[in-house]
Amino acid sequence: MTLMQWFIFFLALQVIHFLGTWKLYKKAGRQAWEALVPVYNAVILMKIIGRPWWWTILLFIPIVNLIMFPVIWVETARSFGKNTTTDTVLVIVTLGFYLYYLNYVENITYKTERSLVPKSASGEWVSSILFAVVAATIVHTYVMQPFTIPTGSLERTLLIGDFLFVSKFHYGARTPMTTVSFPMVHDTIPGVGIKSYLDKPQLPYFRLPGFQDVKRSDIVVFSWPVDTVNRFYGLDDGKYYHKPIDKKSNYVKRAVGLPGDSLKVVDGKVFVNNEPLELPDRAQLQYSYQGTSKGGGFNAKNLYDQYKITNLRFYNATQFATQAITDENAERFKNHPNVASLEKLIATPDQKDPSIFPKGNASLGNRDQIASVYIPKKGATTPISTENLPLYKRLIEIYEGEEMGEPREISVNGNQVLLNGEPLSEYTFKQDYYWMMGDNRHNSEDSRFWGFVPENHIVGKPVFIWFSWDSNGKGIMEKIRWERLFTTVGGNGKPVSYFLYFIIALVGYFVISKVIKNKKAKS
């Protein structure tokens, strides 16, 4: 929906609210016109139902408002003596239109001294759970979101089984675009296996101000730009299904290219604006190596402890390969008494991989050799021709067209590129774009395979590892990576665990709370 359509929809809601409540406002001692004025009518309604004015703010927060509207409907009915379970059910199942019946048919009286305290233990539990969900949804959406590392694309910096807190406020929280969604889940309802959201209506993209921009080499969580599903929850009809931006799968990679940069990959190394990419101390690039042994096998624990090798595989009696080892560890592994030879697997420039962006004959090269590519910047204008069209076609049609509510179609007539039937010789980008890559260069599905990440797909910045679980550990105590608990994601040098400080603070909190409680009891 466009902004104008949303404005009309908002005005329509005000009219619906006025027609269904104006008599109730009068019975509560207010004026009928107060039920019509946008926002003001909500503030007055909070006074009528005896709730704080700031509840009005919650009515305008996407997803949270889906919880708050039924609460307000029920509270309004109860303010006029409709407290039974039947009344509550009728208000909810009629989506609030039960208030029309109360407004025009029922002879009801406003309860000026209505108690706001739940009359039963179950009612108190429901109220507590409801507002816990509201608070958690606000934190999850606008402040901090938990995230789990599912793959090894950033292995050694972030490990499979790391549980992160992802900051939404560093880059500015992206407000929800999907308006109807089950709270606190992503694209599926756990245990049920069905979509957690409705595709429409959609809000326009908007991001709250952040206090920093995405920096080169930052680790970033983002919505996977090309996430369409051709097998959605058991449906296998060969079609692809559009997913809203904020419901696309979340990926975590390193931002190696920023808006306006020119980027290339040479022999597996990234160059930005013809300079080698600078990485923080904790980044450990990994590549595939193959080698031969002297006839024996390897001890898995020793491989991990000494060389951080987790996936070494033999494909005959003496030949082996691994997808994830740093150059430094590889040099040390060459001196292993059972290693006869070891070499890095780097694709040569003459090998063109059709799976590399933008696919097919237009491929930029292979995983180790990417031709120089310009990363679009907001406001920048670039020539468009049949030669470079594959690079920017999806950006113009989908990221800046369909997903922004402006349907577009690009076609080619001879040597002429057409946008919605009109000649297109240059294009000015409407948003910034990024190039994301994993540190595990040979085991990462990243921008080399699907291209640019639009700014409106940026989710947040991982800042904290609060838990880490190693599925290869033998016992529970060994499975927990204690040295990674409560460590920061960014920074230089070896990560420092703040777990002990957390335990001390937690114990201190309970001790102080107990002392204060005892003093109050004595007084």
Q: What total of structural domains would you count in the chain?
A: 2
Report which DSSP code applies to 482.
G
167 catalytically annotated: no
d(CA 370, CA 346): 12
| Digit-coded pLDDT (tens) for 257-290 | 999 999 999 999 999 999 999 998 888 899 999 9
265 pairs with which residues across the strands? 270, 370
With contact defined as beta carbons under 8 Å apart, do 77 and 99 qualify?
yes
Does residue 68 sit within a domain?
Answer: yes
Asked if the structure places residue 112 within a domain, the reply is yes
Q: What is the pLDDT along the chain (523 residues), one digit of tens a residue?
A: 566 777 888 888 899 999 999 999 999 999 999 999 999 999 999 999 888 999 999 888 888 888 888 889 988 988 998 888 888 888 888 988 999 999 998 888 998 877 766 665 655 676 677 778 888 888 888 888 888 877 767 766 788 888 889 999 999 999 888 888 888 788 888 877 788 888 888 888 889 999 999 999 999 999 999 876 554 444 444 555 678 899 888 899 999 999 999 999 999 999 999 999 999 888 889 999 999 998 878 888 888 888 888 888 888 888 899 888 999 999 999 999 898 999 999 999 999 999 999 989 999 999 999 999 999 999 999 999 999 999 999 999 999 988 887 888 899 998 899 999 899 999 999 999 999 999 989 988 899 999 999 999 999 999 888 888 887 777 777 788 888 888 888 777 777 788 888 888 888 888 888 888 888 777 6
Residue 184, in any domain of the structure: no
* CATH number for the domain harbouring residue 340: 3.30.70
Q: Does residue 193 lie within any of the structural domains? A: no
Task: Give the residue from 75, 143, 146, 161 showing the smallest Cα distance to 115.
Answer: 75
Q: Using an 8 Å Cβ cutoff, are 434 and 214 in contact?
A: yes
- Identify whether 188 is part of a domain: no
Q: What is the pLDDT of residues 377-423, one digit of tens each?
A: 999 999 999 999 999 999 999 999 888 878 888 999 988 999 998 99
Is 153 one of the catalytic residues? yes
- CB-based contact 63:173 (threshold 8 Å): no
Q: Of 50, 83, 116, which one is at a domain's C-terminal end?
A: 116
Let me know if residue 393 belongs to a domain.
no
- Choosing from 297, 328, 344, the residue where a domain stops is 344
CA dist list (Å): 32 to 10, 91, 113, 287, 507: 19, 22, 22, 71, 55
How far are the Cα atoms of 165, 215, 303, 306, 368 from residue 297, in angstroms, in the given order? 40, 44, 11, 15, 30
Selected catalytic residue, list 79, 82, 153, 247: 153
At 33 the three-state DSSP class reads helix
Closest CA to 136 of 70, 176, 183, 68: 183
Residue 358 lies in a domain: no
71 closest CA partner among 141, 30, 127: 127
* Structural domain range at position 332: 286-344
Residue at a domain's end among 116, 145, 166 = 116
Q: Give the global pTM.
A: 0.84
* Catalytic position from the list 168, 247, 253, 461: 253
Q: Which position has the token pair 């699907």?
A: 450
Task: Kindly state whether residue 456 falls inside one of the protein's structural domains.
Answer: no
In this structure, which amino acid lies at residue 16? Answer: I
Question: What does the alpha-carbon distance between residue 364 and residue 451 come to, in Å, rounded to a whole number?
Answer: 10
